[in-house]
């Protein structure tokens, strides 16, 4: 009788249960292992690791031909996590191990140790959701992830030998104790108190953080754009538990679960980064920076210096909150709902528009530089501000600036209003309010509507821009703790959306 074990294959953030069947033909004169059932390279190499691991753990490799079948046969199986179920299956088929209903995940090293694998948290959350009742065995190196999931009969082991002792009941092992998801923390390394002046920019970033709106900062070199952007994490609210789980699942998939502390993501890839690094993809269809920034900030400094295809590829995640990564014969969709913070100079020399400096660029240079950010991309940005160089007296001013803590408290208050308003929906911030629901949640009085109509005509605003102004007005009103959206809220929102038209 062949041995049968459960396992999974993880593609992107999707987990699919599979079955590992092992049969041994003892009469065969060929002593070998054959793995069938659409395994990738890592699965095919599994046979060598399993053979050595069994031998070095003190087990005799069975005589005869071992056939490992990964079912269903038409589903591609990925990664080295199938080493452990294959090894356990071989031991069961050869009678060394009792038959038991276990689901095992783990890579084996040649000496029989069980190595960590990616996607453990994603897998365990899936098993918990489907109320999996069998025993689940994971690598001890993934213990931290295992402790986050409740409701499973979960055991973690460091060596293949221990799994055998456990299944045969020779040694009693304790199940993994549930610790829960660690609470997300505030990032407080850099503080807005260090930034002198810049009232307009700080206000814009406060609004952005409150409603999770995209921002573009334009300004001459040294005006403080990078300095401001790096302080955004200090005014963002900590992640909710649901947001934390989404982020941890992504981290688990890319093997970034190496810290005990969890913060809202802030990613700042360099402009020379490849399209695969930022958008995702490649042979193994890995998630890119847009996914690693999910629920957090994606900071693109020197925005026009990024590759044009990268800038254009941001359109899908900016619109849909997801990114589709293609690879041979299939596509994978990852979450990518981030707050874009972009910074750029107004022209190649950086001085265009600065009243105190001389711009050495030709009009053609300026147009070409700005054209790198196409209309559709600009349209997806809610707030565009000009960051002016500090005035001389501001620089030497002794007056203390407001701290991040004070700003964050207002941001949190505005977020809480949004959480309550959108309870029961699949989004929680004003910026993610769909066009369909927009009119349901946002109504303007006549005077406000008139000024918006006027702006639409004057600046030839697109429908998307008008919607963005409405969402932004809602956030500004929320920061003002006002149920009603007032004229001054709409007027301020219009300013942020029409800067590129000036
Ligand atoms: N408002 C400010 N308060 C205090 N220091 C400031 C301020 N603005 C700029 N600085 C100082 O100037 C330095 C340069 O600022 P920053 O690198 O943020 O400019 P930038 O706008 O990003 O310039 P570039 O376009 O060249 O990238 C900062 O590191 C900081 O020391
Ligand atoms: Mg800079």
Pocket test for ligand 1, best of 193, 218, 220, 224 (most atoms within 8 A of CB): 224
Q: Where are the beta strands (DSSP E) in 256-338?
A: 266-267, 280-281, 286-287, 297-300, 322-327, 330-335
Mean of pLDDT over the chain: 90
What would the 3-class secondary structure string for 10-69 be?
EECCEEEEEEEEEEEECCCCCCEEEEECCECHHHHHHHHHHHHHHHHCCCCCCCCEEEEE
In a domain, 187, yes or no: no
Write down the pLDDT at residue 393: 66
The answer to whether residues 475 and 369 belong to one domain is no
The answer to whether residues 361 and 440 belong to one domain is no
pLDDT (average), residues 49-61: 91
Distance 223 CA to ligand 2 centre (A): 8
Higher pLDDT, 101 or 179: 179
Write down the pLDDT at residue 501: 46
Whose atoms come closest to the Cα of 201: which ligand? 1
Ligand 1 atom having least distance to the Cα of 343: 22
Residue 303 confidence class, pLDDT cut points 50, 70, 90? very high
Residues with CB under 6 A from ligand 1: 195-198, 219, 221-227, 345, 350, 390
Tokens found for residue 364:
């053609």
Residue 316 has pLDDT above 60, yes or no: yes
| Ligand 1, atom 9: closest residue by C-alpha | 224
Distance 409 CA to ligand 1 centre (A): 25
Q: How far apart are CA 23 and CA 44, in angstroms?
A: 17
Protein residues within 5 Å, CB atom, of ion ligand 2: 226
Q: How far apart are CA 43 and CA 89, in angstroms?
A: 15
Distance 301 CA to ligand 2 centre (A): 6
Q: How far apart are CA 283 and CA 216, in angstroms?
A: 33
- Give the number of other CB atoms < 10 A from CB of residue 238: 16
Instruction: Give the count of domains, the chain.
Output: 3
The answer to whether residues 381 and 234 belong to one domain is yes
Residue 232 has pLDDT above 90, yes or no: yes
The answer to whether residues 205 and 298 belong to one domain is yes
In a domain, 223, yes or no: yes
Q: 3-state class of 7 per DSSP?
A: strand
Provide the residue count of the chain. 502
Range of the domain at 403: 192-427
Pocket test for ligand 1, best of 191, 222, 388, 401 (most atoms within 8 A of CB): 222
CATH of the domain at 78: 3.30.230.10
- Contact (Cβ atoms closer than 8 angstroms) between residue 278 and residue 269: yes
pLDDT (average), residues 460-474: 92
Q: How far apart are CA 52 and CA 82, in angstroms?
A: 15
Tokens found for residue 73:
């046969």
- Contact (Cβ atoms closer than 8 angstroms) between residue 285 and residue 255: no
In a domain, 176, yes or no: no
- Contact (Cβ atoms closer than 8 angstroms) between residue 292 and residue 258: no
CATH of the domain at 453: 1.10.8
The answer to whether residues 465 and 399 belong to one domain is no
Residue 435 has pLDDT above 80, yes or no: yes
Distance 397 CA to ligand 2 centre (A): 23
Residue 307 has pLDDT above 90, yes or no: yes
Ligand 1 atom having least distance to the Cα of 301: 27
């Amino acid at each position: 009788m062949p041995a049968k074990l459960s396992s999974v294959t993880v593609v992107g953030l999707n987990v699919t249960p599979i079955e590992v069947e092992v049969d041994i033909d003892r009469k065969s004169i060929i002593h070998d292992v054959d793995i069938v059932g659409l395994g990738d390279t890592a699965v095919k190499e599994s046979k060598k690791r399993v053979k050595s691991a069994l031998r070095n753990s003190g087990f005799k490799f069975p005589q005869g031909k071992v056939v490992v079948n990964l079912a269903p046969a038409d589903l591609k199986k990925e990664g080295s996590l199938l080493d452990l179920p294959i090894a356990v299956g071989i031991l069961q088929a050869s009678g060394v191990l009792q038959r038991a209903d276990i689901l095992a995940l783990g890579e084996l090293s040649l000496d029989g140790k069980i190595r960590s694998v990616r996607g453990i948290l994603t897998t365990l959350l899936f098993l918990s959701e489907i109320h999996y009742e069998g025993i689940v065995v994971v690598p001890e190196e993934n213990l931290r992830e295992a402790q986050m999931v409740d409701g499973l009969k979960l055991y973690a082991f460091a060596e293949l030998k221990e799994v055998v002792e456990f299944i045969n009941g020779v040694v009693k092992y304790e199940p993994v104790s549930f610790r829960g998801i660690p609470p997300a923390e505030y990032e407080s390394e850099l503080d807005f108190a260090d930034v002198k002046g810049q009232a307009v920019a700080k206000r814009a970033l406060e609004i952005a953080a409150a409603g999770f709106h995209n921002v573009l900062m334009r300004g001459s070199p040294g005006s403080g754009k990078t300095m401001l952007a790096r302080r955004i994490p200090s005014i963002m609210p900590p992640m909710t538990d649901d947001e934390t789980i989404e982020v941890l699942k992504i981290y688990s998939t890319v093997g970034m679960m190496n810290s005990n502390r969890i913060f809202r993501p802030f990613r700042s890839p360099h402009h020379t980064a490849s399209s695969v690094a930022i958008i995702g993809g490649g042979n193994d269809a890995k998630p890119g920076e847009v996914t690693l920034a999910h629920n957090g900030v994606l900071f693109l400094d020197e925005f026009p210096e990024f590759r044009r295809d990268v800038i254009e590829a941001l359109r899908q995640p900016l619109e849909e909150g997801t990114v589709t990564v293609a690879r041979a014969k299939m596509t994978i969709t990852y979450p990518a709902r981030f707050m874009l913070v972009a910074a750029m100079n107004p022209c190649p020399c950086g001085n265009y528009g600065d009243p105190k400096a001389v711009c050495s660029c030709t009009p053609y240079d300026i147009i070409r530089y700005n054209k790198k950010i196409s209309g559709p991309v600009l349209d997806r940005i809610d707030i565009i501000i000009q960051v002016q160089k500090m005035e001389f007296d501001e620089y030497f001013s002794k007056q203390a600036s407001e701290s991040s803590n004070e700003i964050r408290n207002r941001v949190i208050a505005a977020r809480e209003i949004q959480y309550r308003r959108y309870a029961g929906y699949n989004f929680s911030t004003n910026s993610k309010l769909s066009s369909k629901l927009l009119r349901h949640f946002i109504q303007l009085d006549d005077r406000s509507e008139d000024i918006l109509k006027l702006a639409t005509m004057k600046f030839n605003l697109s429908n998307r821009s008008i919607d963005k102004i409405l969402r932004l007005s809602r956030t500004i009103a929320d920061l003002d703790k006002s149920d009603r959206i007032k004229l001054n809220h709409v007027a301020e929102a219009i300013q942020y959306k029409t800067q590129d038209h000036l």
